[in-house]
A and B are shown apart, each in its own frame.
Chain A
C-alpha cells in the first residue's frame, strides 16, 4: 500500500517538475505548489512503514526517470547512454522494492 503512495507521489512529482519550466501565471504556480504539497503528503504517509532513505530515493528516482521521458516526449534529444542510466535507475528501484518489505520491523527502533 505504501509503495502505491510513493508511486502516486512520484507521478505527481513528474507533473509538477515538468511544469516548472512552463508555469508563468499565478494560477500555474498555485497548481504547481498544490501538486508539490500533495505529493509530499503522500510521501510522508509512506514513511510510516518504508525506511526514509528507500522511500525518498525511489520518489526522486521515479521522478527523474519520468521527467526525462516527458522531456523526450516533448521533443528533447536523447542518447543511448542516457537510456542505459535510466535502466540503471529503474533496476535500483526494482531492487529496493523487492528487498524492502513494508513490515514494521524495518523501522522498529526508529519508530519507538
Chain B
C-alpha cells in the first residue's frame, strides 16, 4: 500500500509540474488549480508512504519517479529536445539525489 501511495505521489508530481509549464504559457486558472491540488495530493501521498517506509527511501523513489516522469513529459508531451550531455547530467543528478537520500 505504501508503494502504491509512492507511485501516486510521483505521478501527481509529474502532473503538477506539467501544469506549471502551462501557467507560464498564458493559461491560468485551470493549470493553477491542477498544480496546487497536484502538489498537495503528491505531498500527502508521500507523507503516507513515509509512515511505513523509511523516509529516505520514500523520498528517493518519489524524486526518481518524478524526475524521470517529467523528462518523459518534456520529451513526449511538450516535444522538447534534449541532447546526450543533458541526459548524462540528468542521470548524474537523479543518481546523486537517490544516493544521498538513501544514505541520510
Q: Which residues of A contact B (CB under 8 A)?
A: 40, 43-45, 47-48, 51-54, 56-58, 60-61, 64, 68, 71, 79, 81-82, 84-96, 98-100, 105-111
Contacts and interface: CB of A to CB of B under 8 A. Distances in A.
B104 A68 contact: yes
A82 B97 CA distance: 10
A51 B87 CA distance: 12
A59 B83 CA distance: 19
Interface of B: 17-18, 20-21, 23-25, 35, 63, 66-67, 70-71, 73-75, 78-83, 85-86, 88-97, 99-101, 103-104
Contact of A61 (B78, B83, B93, B104): B93
A52 B86 contact: no
A68 B63 CA distance: 15
B92 A89 contact: yes
B79 A109 contact: yes
Contact of A52 (B73, B93, B94): B73
Given A47-B21, A60-B67, A82-B103, A53 B92 contact: no
B78 to A, nearest CB: 4
B85 A57 contact: no
Given A44-B24, A93-B89, A96-B89, A53 B103 contact: no
Nearest to A47: B24
A106 B83 CA distance: 10
